[in-house]
Structure 1
Amino acid sequence: MKLKFNAHGCKMTTIKSYDVIIIGAGIFGLSCAYACAGRNLSVLVVDAKKIGFGASGGILGAMAPYTPDQWHAKKEYQFQALSTAEEHWQEVDGLSSLPSGYGRIGRISPIIHERVYNLALTRHEEAKSNWKKFKWNVIKSHELVSPDAAPYGLIHDTLSARIFPSKACASLAQACSFMGVEFRENTYVSNFDTGVISGPWGNETASSIIIATGYEGFDSLEKFFPTSMGSGVKGQAALMNISLGDAPQIYANGVYVVPHYDGTTAIGSTSENKWTEPHDTDVQLDELIERARIICPKIKNAKLITKWAGVRPKARRREPLIGKVPMADGIFLAMGGFKIGFGIAHKIGLSLADLIENKPNDLPKSYTIEHHLEKN
């Protein structure tokens, strides 16, 4: 508790004030907490449910780059995030003594058209300058992929990685705790404004507030913006009881096969703009699993461990929604990770810490709030 003096010089006890309060304990919220704590800022993270409960608590964990050609600021930002992810997660796991499941295993993608094959050869050359030590190669075949699925060979990139989302959130939260970050689960925030958040439980104050909620949080932004800033896209995935070791993940026409560190393999994911039950799985996942078994014969007879479904937050213009809210002093957004959240999360955290401290940052324009507010 902090002691302050009122106008009459009498002591009055107030609720502890933080440098930063973060609403949302998904991968963006946890990454912001880790970065801010690393700047010696006092941090409180609150979540209406549990740490990593929503889309961040999934099972797929594919971390894949944009193509290495037609280079621009957005691709450079993501490249910097992916190329430093290994060091980041080693640091986090070392501090927490928990496994995030991170591994730079690369990715193979079947080529099914001659045009794509020729484009892949061009991108191989572009990667030499834009990806530095990482490769974008064209190979004839791979033991994991059926020859029928790759008539023109495969693309093999060495930049892609895997992570186990729910375990990564647990590791990062533990590391944050060791750095002094405070957590409050099952704490619903009904209102927030400059310097304060509140709910049925009371209120807390901070110099800066970061909104890092899932798709439900877009509704809470209505008072700041003239239009909806995002929505939720449902995804379904499955976890199979088969070990592929550190083999590269497979991406083929919307299907991911991701070998995990613990001897399991994930398959995903659907992309559903229309849905009724956020956590139910259905025939769409069953069909995805069958497609994966055809593409990767090694998993043909693998037994199913579990199915998962969740809703990923997609911002208005698909790209992440990052930055300071205009006309709202001290309120920042870190939302809309959608399909690339885990790959860029630790860099997003650093960018938010820079914004809070009024330091220069390299956020690409397409991630900014101003970009999302532009008319089509």
Structure 2
Amino acid sequence: MAQTSAGPFDVAIAGAGIFGLSIAHAAIRAGLNVAVLEADRVGAGSSGGLLGALMPHMPARWNPKKEFQFQALSGLAAHVRQLEADTGLSCGYRRCGRILPLTTRDKLEHHLERAEESRLRWHPDETGFSYRVEAAGSRSDWLEPKAAPFGIVYETLAARISPRAYLAALSAYVRRHGTLMEGVEVTGFDETSKLVRLSGDRAPVGAGCLVISGGFQAFELIETLTGERIGRGEKGQALLLEGADLDGKPAIYCDGLYVVPHDDGTVAIGSTSDRDFTDNAPSPDRSAELLRRATAFCPQLAGRTMISQWAGIRPRCHKRDPLIGRLPGFGAIYAATGGFKISFGIAHLVADCLVADITDREPGHPLPATFRPDNHFGAGRLDADR
């Protein structure tokens, strides 16, 4: 039965985006009593977008961050299957693969080297994930051949998910097994009294610890607590078209844009990244630009009906890598934010690592050191204008 009291909870989580809900899901499965406190509504921030591209880093200059993402993407299918079985809800997940056009001979040579390194890093004989360079004209039924004069890369690790369906499944699980309160803004946490402070005249909520995971707004609360600003928001925009007969196609990344067909008969295009912005509303001119650019390399998009437009502010740490872990100077305040463009692919593994921190156990796969607070605060801090 869902927990409905005001606590005390083992864990309170500020924010019901992909990181917050994934941490709640992992904490509940670990046996903890969990409350998610969302200032607006589930997916109100950048997690409620349209694209759903789960794309790996390139298999070159390998490092712990790339290994972490590889492990996360490799294990996501099993995680989603279990969530779907637990909730009866589809997440719109599929291992779709990805096309990358090669526009110069230098890029061709570079990606031939990456294809060789993928044999070492992606373990194709064990995983089945391949990274191949194909000749010019390959897959021309989907990608305009003129967009790839030197051939293409086709890799099979890439996947896609429906962001809103995934959030709906996670939030259903949390509502069923924990507490999820919308329209409740967290303003702080008293470590002595173990009370989460809320805005307005709301009574505080008792919790053993607080996890701050509220998108780009989390940076403001983190700055209030630590005195350090370690991230900012960047605006992204995407759009959704009618995509009949495209659901079996791979994703395409070309001209800085993704085209991602989904299994509900839609195809998403996006997304932009604007550091300077005045609001979080979609721009019709920007949508027209996205459609024009995408249609140039993917002619099958021409003439399709636009279903919706989306814009949102994504959290980006100044160090680029996410911030995951206990805030400096505190014993029971944690943060999980700044996933930027890779959040959906790594959220379940990030959640396992943070819950391992909270419960003092070893995670299934360790966090990269660059995700840890020491990389973002104090001597490790990077200012926004550098």
Pick the TM interval, shorter chain. over 0.9
Residue in 2 aligned with 1:208? 209
Residue in 2 aligned with 1:370? 374
Aligned Cα root-mean-square deviation (Å): 1.3
Matched AA of 1:209 = L
Query: How many matched pairs?
Result: 362
Residue in 1 aligned with 2:12? 21
> What CA distance in whole angstroms lies between the structure 2 residues aligned with 1:234 and 1:282?
15
1:187 equivalent among 184, 187, 211: 184
Residue in 2 aligned with 1:173? 171
> What CA distance in whole angstroms lies between the structure 2 residues aligned with 1:29 and 1:222?
19
Residue in 2 aligned with 1:197? 196
| Shift in Å, 1:166 | 1.2
| Shift in Å, 1:103 | 0.8
SS at match of 2:226: coil
Comparing 319-328 with 219-228, greater Cα deviation is found at 219-228
Give the alignment of 1:216-227 within 5 angstroms.
216-227=217-228
Q: Say whether 1:88 aligns with 2:103.
A: no
> What CA distance in whole angstroms lies between the structure 2 residues aligned with 1:117 and 1:196?
57
Question: Would the aligned equivalents of 1:93 and 1:175 in 2 still touch at CA under 8 Å?
Answer: no
Q: Say whether 1:290 aligns with 2:292.
A: yes
Give the alignment of 1:148-159 within 5 angstroms.
148-159=146-157
| Shift in Å, 1:15 | 5.2
1:137 equivalent among 125, 132, 136: 132
| Shift in Å, 1:168 | 0.9
Give the alignment of 1:288-367 within 5 angstroms.
288-361=290-363, 362-367=366-371
> What CA distance in whole angstroms lies between the structure 1 residues aligned with 2:173 and 2:283?
32
Q: Say whether 1:97 aligns with 2:95.
A: no
| Shift in Å, 1:375 | 4.6
| TM-aligned CA distance change 1:224 to 1:317, over 3 Å | same
| C-alpha distance after superposition, 1:83-116 (max 9, x if no partner) | 0011111111121111211111011111111111
Matched AA of 1:126 = E
> What CA distance in whole angstroms lies between the structure 2 residues aligned with 1:268 and 1:295?
14
Comparing 83-92 with 354-363, greater Cα deviation is found at 354-363
| TM-aligned CA distance change 1:328 to 1:375, over 3 Å | closer
Question: Would the aligned equivalents of 1:105 and 1:162 in 2 still touch at CA under 8 Å?
Answer: yes
| Shift in Å, 1:176 | 2.5
Give the alignment of 1:211-250 within 5 angstroms.
211-243=212-244, 244-250=246-252
> What CA distance in whole angstroms lies between the structure 2 residues aligned with 1:105 and 1:246?
7
> What CA distance in whole angstroms lies between the structure 1 residues aligned with 2:118 and 2:50?
29
> What CA distance in whole angstroms lies between the structure 2 residues aligned with 1:279 and 1:331?
32
| Shift in Å, 1:309 | 0.6
| Shift in Å, 1:31 | 0.4
SS at match of 2:11: strand
2:258 equivalent among 249, 256, 259: 256
Residue in 2 aligned with 1:6? none
SS at match of 1:202: coil
> What CA distance in whole angstroms lies between the structure 2 residues aligned with 1:152 and 1:365?
38
Give the alignment of 1:69-84 within 5 angstroms.
69-84=60-75
SS at match of 1:222: helix
> What CA distance in whole angstroms lies between the structure 1 residues aligned with 2:203 and 2:174?
24
SS at match of 1:231: strand
Question: Would the aligned equivalents of 2:52 and 2:344 in 1 still touch at CA under 8 Å?
Answer: yes
Question: Would the aligned equivalents of 1:270 and 1:285 in 2 still touch at CA under 8 Å?
Answer: no
Question: Would the aligned equivalents of 2:243 and 2:265 in 1 still touch at CA under 8 Å?
Answer: yes
| C-alpha distance after superposition, 1:245-264 (max 9, x if no partner) | 22110001211100011010
SS at match of 1:224: helix
> What CA distance in whole angstroms lies between the structure 1 residues aligned with 2:23 and 2:107?
38
> What CA distance in whole angstroms lies between the structure 2 residues aligned with 1:111 and 1:145?
12
Question: Would the aligned equivalents of 2:255 and 2:293 in 1 still touch at CA under 8 Å?
Answer: no
TM-score normalised by L of structure 2: 0.91
Residue in 2 aligned with 1:281? 283
Matched AA of 1:368 = R
SS at match of 2:204: strand
> What CA distance in whole angstroms lies between the structure 1 residues aligned with 2:39 and 2:225?
21
Residue in 2 aligned with 1:56? 47
Question: Would the aligned equivalents of 1:238 and 1:304 in 2 still touch at CA under 8 Å?
Answer: yes
Residue in 2 aligned with 1:265? 267
Comparing 57-66 with 123-132, greater Cα deviation is found at 123-132
| TM-aligned CA distance change 1:272 to 1:282, over 3 Å | farther
Residue in 2 aligned with 1:4? none
> What CA distance in whole angstroms lies between the structure 2 residues aligned with 1:196 and 1:319?
30
SS at match of 1:67: coil
SS at match of 2:225: coil
Unaligned runs of 5+ in 1: 1-13
> What CA distance in whole angstroms lies between the structure 1 residues aligned with 2:106 and 2:196?
54
